[in-house]
Structure 1
Amino acid sequence: MGKAQWNNLDDNELERTLTESIDELPMEDVVENVVPLKSAMLYVLAGLVLSSVVFSFFKLNYILPTVGAVLSFLGYRKLKSENKYFSACYAIELVSLIYILAVLILNTMTLGTDVHVKNVLKVISHVMAAVSVVGVLCLWLALRQVQKKAGLEPGAYAVLALAGLYALVGLLAVFGYGSVHLITMVIAIAVFVILIRAIYKLPRELDEAGYLVRTSRIIIPDKAIVIAVLAVLVTGGACGYMFGNGYRMSWSIRDDVQQGTDVEGISESLIRQGFPDYVLNDLTAEEIASCGGAVNVLTQNKNCDNGLQFTDVAVQVQDADVEELWIIFHYFRWIEDKKPYGAEAVQIWTTDHEIQEGWLTAGEVKGRLMYDKGGVTYTAPYHSMESVTYNRMAWIDRVQTVTDVFGTFSFPKKGENCRGYVSYSTVHTVKGYTFYDFINYTYQESWWQYPVISAYDHRTNGVFNKKPFMTVQNPFSFYFEENGIRQY
């Protein structure tokens, strides 16, 4: 159309001519590739918000940061070709996403409850917190460079302030100031909202300046990335629950033999005095020999509704150096088939656990575990058997420091007649004092829990029964009268 024809067109004809000259509007992804800053920054800001929000209900404290990391990664993926700082943001978000996925999967394994692993993860979490601050600083530098190219005054100080806020919160967490005043928390949230709102306006300023951000070539679509992340989580979590939800035990075929004239004679004498034969058959020859010359044998049986059976035995033995030496056995077994889930624990409150008068524990608490399979008996030591000092809630606002003996273990999924015992020696130092001790058995009733914690962690957290855990308590006590020993 010539110049004269253009000049003779009125406004309506001009609009119609321009509309007809364009076949169709560009595709949405084409427009996004030309000016991707606004949409990409929306992803990044959404990621920052979700990663900063902490809700402890419905597992949102795990879900929201994961979604936030994915969104930030997708946003920076589109901008990484614009400048080196956006590339650094992309690399940092990739590392952060890998870290989050690894922690989420580790939370399905008992390995994550190991104290050494916890310490390593604590250090890594502090490092990742510092890395997140560096990531926000890189975002600030990236936006300043874009502003400079667009002919605007480099600023984006809201991003710099956000990095400072992140650093302040991180330092408070590291140095143990996690509990802050409500007013301080409200102020921090208000500042965060103001900064996010200010950052949200930056892409609009660049659009108004007419600057077009160079986009990266996207080969793998966003949907494929999201599906891949979900696949990694589902696969890793399933493997964690199936293969990593329990302690690694040193099971071996039982090869200790209770032979020898002395051992057989002691066993016969103990059985005549009431020592249960099924308990005696699982003891080692050394343990049986330690009961030689038994003066008294006291037993107690308890069958629980869940299929767990306790048998407690107290043996008073003659000792040249000690007037009243007793050997205590706490034996437990599953008389009904059960599916072992996760990491179990027994907690032993010895007779001098709270009152150090009348009775004194002599030596360490020992024991072992057993199960049958195909007519063969397998045995293993406890994964750990140690005295642990920890803090627990005694009352609503009172913390109590206690020391307990814990034995941790896991039974195999296909084991039969799963059982075990603990034993220790104690001395009756003052006549008239009642013997009183406890064994607490904590186990999982189902496989589902997230994050996975062990029965030991459950008990040391000061919680008695909280799904999926169940604790069965078994007290054992007896006292002395003029005409003999009585049991409660």
Structure 2
Amino acid sequence: MEESFWKQTYEKILIGMGLFGITLNFLFLNQILPFLGALLLFTGFRKLRLENRWLKAGYAGAALKVVITIVNIVIGSVLEREKIYVSYVWKVIVFCGGILPVFLMVCLFLGMREELEKRKAEIKNEVVLHIIIWYVVVTVLAVREYEGWILGLAIVAAYIGILVELKNIAEKLEQAEYVLEEHPVRISDGRYAAGAAILTAAGLLIGYTCFGSYHMAWTTAKETQDSASEEIKAHLLSLGFPEEILHDLKEEDILACKNARQILLNQSDDLLRDGDERLQLDGVAVELEQEGQWKVIHHFLWNGNSGFRGTEAVQINPAYQELNGGWTAQGELTGQVLYDKDGTSYTAEYASLQNEAYDTNQNFPFYGSQQYASIFAEFSMPHRGENCRGYVAYEIKAKESDWWIDSWLNYTHQKTIWQYPVISAAQNRKQGGWLNERVFSTVQDALQVLPEGERENSVGLGM
């Protein structure tokens, strides 16, 4: 026996509601299932929009749910989406997206009740109370950030129970000889679904290409003309400071090295990608005019094409971070990024340069997430730039004598555009580097020198 048009329609709506109640965080199902659910709700309520006011309101709500679902998916391709999340507009979108499933269930119930009343059939209103109670409980648990399994399963079971109640009412309406007429439409459901898919794909493409990396404020690099800076440069070169690194320093860092006492350094040349592209990492320690006070400089240089250019991150575990160590932090973090094009050098500040504490969010059965603190410099390189390079510098002061300067660096490079949701190289490091090899590559290096003048060249270690 062929199913009635009404049964096909309400089953489509209930399946759509069911897909919204499922959260599977693998194979992108947490985006795919809500998208399919939104399309089923829209195409289902579309067939009911001429029946009564409640079902017409459900049609409008379903259309809004499709839009919000597409926006949610596209936002995942935007790197700095946290700035969007804190906006008032986004909070309104989140609220609407959260309440719409409940609104649609209520509209479906009230619409079916109105049709039953036209046919003199009785209907109980308990399902509305069940929907309201369910929504209140879910809201309270969300506010309290509940993560347990017991109540979670109970919530899912209650949601399924509500859908079953709605199905029973739909069957009762069919038994009351309700006939849903199929009205001619200009645009088929398939074309609507294809249009939504194309719109989503276009949004993702724009997000990846236009908002998948940092927007750097590049300006033409200017050579220092100050005579005092030139004298300091000459003095640093006489102590053995690498000339190619010296030319990349800001004037404030050069002036801080006035009357420097000694230079200690290490250099390495590491393969970061599976090709001929080499990343040169250098560490320089400059003892400043005041005895026991040092400026530590970590410099990087791409000798060749770095491949895909998305986000980069320099993570430094500074010398002063060692527990019960012999160093204390002094002053502010400094640094910049540079590149060459057509014989001209360009420079920019880091998108972010700060010393921050972070949680790896690695929750394993036998131990919880780990707390760390590091210096992070985040940036993106231009697509057609050459000799991409930069540095990060910080100052330390000795608490005790005869302590090694032990400063570690992790350089993380994004290898491909293909990741969802988009995260930066720095975020990957903060999450424990679980996307390494597939999306990101990391090289480790260390500056390990003795202040007395012993030079210990360290070798960069690939991760």
Q: TM-score, normalised by structure 1?
A: 0.85
Specify whether residues 439 and 143 from structure 1 end up closer, same or farther in structure 2 by C-alpha distance, changes over 3 A only: same
What's the counterpart of residue 20 of structure 1? none
Distance in 2 between residues matched to 1:395 and 1:238, nearest whole Å: 33
The structure whose Rg is larger is: 1
Aligned mate of 2:297, from 329, 333, 337: 329
Aligned-residue sequence identity (percent) comes to: 31
Q: Which amino acid aligns with 1:282?
A: D
What's the counterpart of residue 104 of structure 1? 73
What's the counterpart of residue 275 of structure 2? none
* C-alpha deviation, 1:98, in angstroms: 0.6
CA-atom RMSD in angstroms = 2.4
1:43 partner SS: helix
Matched, 1:259 2:230: no
Q: TM-score, normalised by structure 2?
A: 0.89
Matched, 1:277 2:273: no
What's the counterpart of residue 461 of structure 2? none
Distance in 1 between residues matched to 2:169 and 2:442, nearest whole Å: 57
Query: How far does the alpha carbon of each residue in 1:227-270 deviate from its partner, in whole angstroms, 9 at most, with x for none?
Result: 1011101211112222221011101111x222243322322222
Query: How far does the alpha carbon of each residue in 1:301-349 deviate from its partner, in whole angstroms, 9 at most, with x for none?
Result: 1111122110111111213xxx311111110011120234322222222
Distance in 2 between residues matched to 1:297 and 1:176, nearest whole Å: 52
Specify whether residues 287 and 188 from structure 1 end up closer, same or farther in structure 2 by C-alpha distance, changes over 3 A only: closer
1:293 partner SS: coil
Aligned mate of 1:372, from 309, 319, 340: 340
1:140 and 1:160 in contact (8 A); partners too? no
What's the counterpart of residue 433 of structure 1? 403
Q: Which amino acid aligns with 2:280?
A: Q
1:168 partner SS: helix
Specify whether residues 185 and 292 from structure 1 end up closer, same or farther in structure 2 by C-alpha distance, changes over 3 A only: closer
Q: Which amino acid aligns with 2:450?
A: Y
1:398 partner SS: coil
Distance in 2 between residues matched to 1:164 and 1:471, nearest whole Å: 50
1:137 and 1:160 in contact (8 A); partners too? no
Aligned mate of 1:64, from 30, 33, 40: 33
* C-alpha deviation, 1:226, in angstroms: 0.9
What's the counterpart of residue 9 of structure 1? none
Aligned mate of 2:100, from 131, 134, 137: 131
Distance in 1 between residues matched to 2:166 and 2:109, nearest whole Å: 10
2:265 and 2:449 in contact (8 A); partners too? no
Distance in 1 between residues matched to 2:360 and 2:389, nearest whole Å: 29
Distance in 2 between residues matched to 1:440 and 1:126, nearest whole Å: 40
Specify whether residues 96 and 37 from structure 1 end up closer, same or farther in structure 2 by C-alpha distance, changes over 3 A only: same
* C-alpha deviation, 1:359, in angstroms: 0.6
Moved runs in structure 1, 4+ residues, more than 6 A? none
2:265 and 2:447 in contact (8 A); partners too? no
* C-alpha deviation, 1:395, in angstroms: 8.1
Query: How far does the alpha carbon of each residue in 1:172-208 deviate from its partner, in whole angstroms, 9 at most, with x for none?
Result: 122211x1234x4444444433433342233332222
1:82 and 1:214 in contact (8 A); partners too? no
* C-alpha deviation, 1:449, in angstroms: 0.1
Distance in 1 between residues matched to 2:389 and 2:305, nearest whole Å: 11
Q: Which amino acid aligns with 1:473?
A: Q
Q: Which moved more, 1:238-247 or 1:159-168?
A: 159-168
Query: How far does the alpha carbon of each residue in 1:56-84 deviate from its partner, in whole angstroms, 9 at most, with x for none?
Result: 12111110110000110111111112111
What's the counterpart of residue 473 of structure 1? 444
1:78 and 1:217 in contact (8 A); partners too? no
- Counting only pairs closer than 5 Å after superposition, residues 443-482 of structure 1 correspond to structure 2 as 443-463=413-433, 466=436, 467-480=438-451
2:407 and 2:446 in contact (8 A); partners too? yes
* C-alpha deviation, 1:108, in angstroms: 1.4
1:159 and 1:195 in contact (8 A); partners too? no
* C-alpha deviation, 1:299, in angstroms: 1.3
- Counting only pairs closer than 5 Å after superposition, residues 400-411 of structure 1 correspond to structure 2 as 400-411=370-381
Specify whether residues 421 and 57 from structure 1 end up closer, same or farther in structure 2 by C-alpha distance, changes over 3 A only: same
Q: How many residues are matched?
A: 446
2:340 partner SS: strand
Q: Which amino acid aligns with 2:246?
A: L
1:477 partner SS: strand
Query: How far does the alpha carbon of each residue in 1:348-395 deviate from its partner, in whole angstroms, 9 at most, with x for none?
Result: 222112425311111111110011111111110011212223223588
* C-alpha deviation, 1:283, in angstroms: 1.5
* C-alpha deviation, 1:160, in angstroms: 5.0
What's the counterpart of residue 280 of structure 2? 309
What's the counterpart of residue 317 of structure 2? 349
1:361 and 1:427 in contact (8 A); partners too? yes
